[in-house]
Amino acid sequence: RYTSKFRPSMKREVEKNKAQWKTMGPAKVAVPSPKNFLQKHSKEPKLPARKKEQDSKKLPALSVPRRTDHPVMGIQNKTNFIKTNAVAAITGLPKKPQPICVDTRQGDKYLLETSGLVPKYIKKKDYGVTPKYVTRRNEEMKRSQKEYEAGILEQLKKRAMKRLSDEERKSLLQGLKKNWEEAYREFQCLPVQIDTVTKKMYKEKLESQMKQLEHDIEAIEKHQVIYIANE
């Protein structure tokens, strides 16, 4: 029968390492001595030892007299406290009563100063004064508006445009209104029955003319600044 030549070495290795994984049976542990039994409070945390500096500190001085202390005898005070208090009460200024407010029939009252009924806010020095940030913002808006208008003027100058003055705008608006009144007067003079093509065309012409004039008047009244092209 075949026998491996490594069999003796394997036997020696197994016998050598056999106790490392041996777990069967009771563990071979040293039995504790009966003198080392568990005592009471042995597992509680122990406080550190007290330092000598804490032991040497003196106790603070007591505000109450000690049992062995004796009162000082023979000292008398001849001040008449009754008379002193009466004089202070007579010569002293009376206390002003705090203003209160009663809001129910049962007499529930509260301080008037903290109730919100006293007009403290309107008596402030800066009441009604425009805040600084509002003034600053308005100035910035005006400056930006001026810069915008200046930029538009430069662009219009480049495009050969001019701005109508207030007088020209008013005269133009009056002329448009006068033309509208004339067209409206002619429209009212039309006959009730329009039976010819010429009358119908004339009526349509007046209506379109009045509509265009109304549109122009509304545009001029809506815009304060008007630019026109130079001819």
Q: What pLDDT digit, counting tens, does each position of 122-138 carry? A: 888 888 888 899 999 99
Which pTM was predicted?
Answer: 0.33
30-36 long-range Cβ contacts below 8 angstroms, 24+ apart: none
* CA–CA distance, 131 with 146 (Å, rounded to integer): 23
For 145-193, what is each residue's pLDDT tens digit?
A: 999 988 888 877 766 667 778 888 888 889 999 999 998 898 888 888 8
Q: How many residues does the chain have?
A: 231
- Where a domain ends, among 111, 134, 160? 160
Claim to verify: residue 153 and residue 138 sit in the same structural domain: yes
Residue 64 in domain: no
Show the CA angle centred on residue 203, arms to residues 201 and 208, nearest 5°. Answer: 95
179 plus 149 within the same structural domain = no
**Could you tell me which of 206, 184, 210, 208 has the C-alpha nearest to residue 198?**
206
The answer to the question of residue 66 being in a domain is no
Half-sphere exposure of 174 (CA within 13 A, CB side): 6
The domain in which residue 171 lies consists of 162-228
Number of structural domains the chain divides into: 2
Give the Cα separation of 93 and 95 in Å (integer): 6
User: Is 20 inside any structural domain?
Assistant: no
Q: What H or E segment, with its residue span, contains residue 184?
A: helix 166-188
